[in-house]
Amino acid sequence: MTNDQLYKKSPRQAMKYYYLIEGLEFIVNLIVTIVLIYLWSHFNWWPFLIYIFIACILFDLIYAVLGPWIKYHYTYYRIREKDIEVKSDFFFKSQKIVKIERTQFIERKYNPILKRLGLAKVVLVTAGHQVTFPILSIKDVEAFESLSLDYLRGADYDV
């Protein structure tokens, strides 16, 4: 069994959340670009600006389609007995490892869409930095919180 098989991904509903958020952002960016195109035509701005506006729309569309897929498929986490590991490895590879004993507090963040899908964002805060998990289900968040609190309850560490 390789180390990569021990990593977990976000639940399937996380991909729905990512696409929904990117879709909403695309609509807002499209409205702003349409207003800019109207202003361009009304005030006779430089002719080459229309190409920049169209390029922005195309790049935003490509990002709205590929961004959520990349976030979902290339971000992993692993919770072991004494440490937590979050790894993303699409283009720029990053790996964050934090000992559970260094935990100061755990933030659980919601918004109405996350609550409706039964998901939550989790941020583990230590004295030095923060580790942001990929989107997790509420059951996984509660299991992680209870695991870390049980580990910390019996410990006598001076952090």
Instruction: Among 30, 56, 72, give the residue marking a domain's end.
Output: 72
CA–CA separation, 129 vs 102, rounded Å?
10
- Are 88 and 135 found together in one domain? yes
Per the document, the length of the chain is 159
- Are 62 and 82 found together in one domain? no
Q: What is the pTM of this model?
A: 0.84
- Are 19 and 65 found together in one domain? yes
Residues 6+ apart with CB under 8 A from 10: 72, 75, 119, 134, 135, 136
- Are 54 and 109 found together in one domain? no
- Are 143 and 83 found together in one domain? yes
The more confident residue out of 31 and 100 is: 31
Longest dimension (CA), the chain: 70
Say yes or no to pLDDT of 159 above 60: no
Residue 74's φ and ψ, nearest 5 degrees, are -120, 20
Is 159 within a domain?
no
Instruction: Among 18, 38, 72, give the residue marking a domain's end.
Output: 72
pLDDT, position 1: 40
Least confident of 37-41, 45-49, 137-141, 152-156: 152-156
Taking phi over 0 as left and psi of -120 to 50 as alpha, with beta for the rest, 118 belongs to: left
Instruction: Among 51, 72, 93, give the residue marking a domain's end.
Output: 72
Q: Is 63 helix (H, G, I), strand (E, B) or coil?
A: helix
pLDDT in tens, 13-39: 999 999 999 999 999 999 999 999 999
What is the arrangement of strands in the sheet containing 93-99, beginning at the earlier edge strand?
75-79, 83-89, 93-99
- Are 63 and 83 found together in one domain? no
Q: Which domain holds residue 52?
A: 3-72
- Are 117 and 147 found together in one domain? yes
Q: What is the CATH number of the domain that holds 129?
A: 2.30.29
Total structural domains in the chain?
2
pLDDT in tens, 63-83: 999 999 999 999 999 988 888
The more confident residue out of 72 and 3 is: 72
